[in-house]
Amino acid sequence: MREHHIGQTVIPYEINWCDDRETVGLSLDQSLELTVRAPMAATIGEIEDMLESRQEWLLEKPHQLMR
């Protein structure tokens, strides 16, 4: 499992590589586990850039799910 850091917050995530995907997608389930779905051609750097651009969502979404 990989980790993305936002300040002192650590967000563990798993990457699912998909043959039929063209874009990187994020999903957070009820147990607050983050899954990144990425095309086979995506690089780790591209995934990390996407996580960086979605920091606000990554910090807010768990609070929405816990309500």
- For the chain, domain boundaries: 2-65
**Predicted local confidence at residue 61, as pLDDT:** 84
pLDDT digits (tens, 9 = 90+) for 5-61: 999 989 999 999 999 999 999 998 878 789 999 999 999 999 999 999 999 999 888
Q: What are phi and psi of 29, to 5 degrees?
A: -90, 180
Within 8 A by CB and 6+ apart from 18, the residues are: 37, 38, 39, 40
**Predicted local confidence at residue 26, as pLDDT:** 96
**Predicted local confidence at residue 30, as pLDDT:** 79
- Whole-number Cα distances in Å, 21 to 13, 29, 36, 41, 59: 18, 20, 11, 9, 25
**Predicted local confidence at residue 48, as pLDDT:** 96
Question: For 18, which DSSP code?
Answer: E
**Predicted local confidence at residue 32, as pLDDT:** 79
Within 8 A by CB and 6+ apart from 27, the residues are: 34, 35, 37
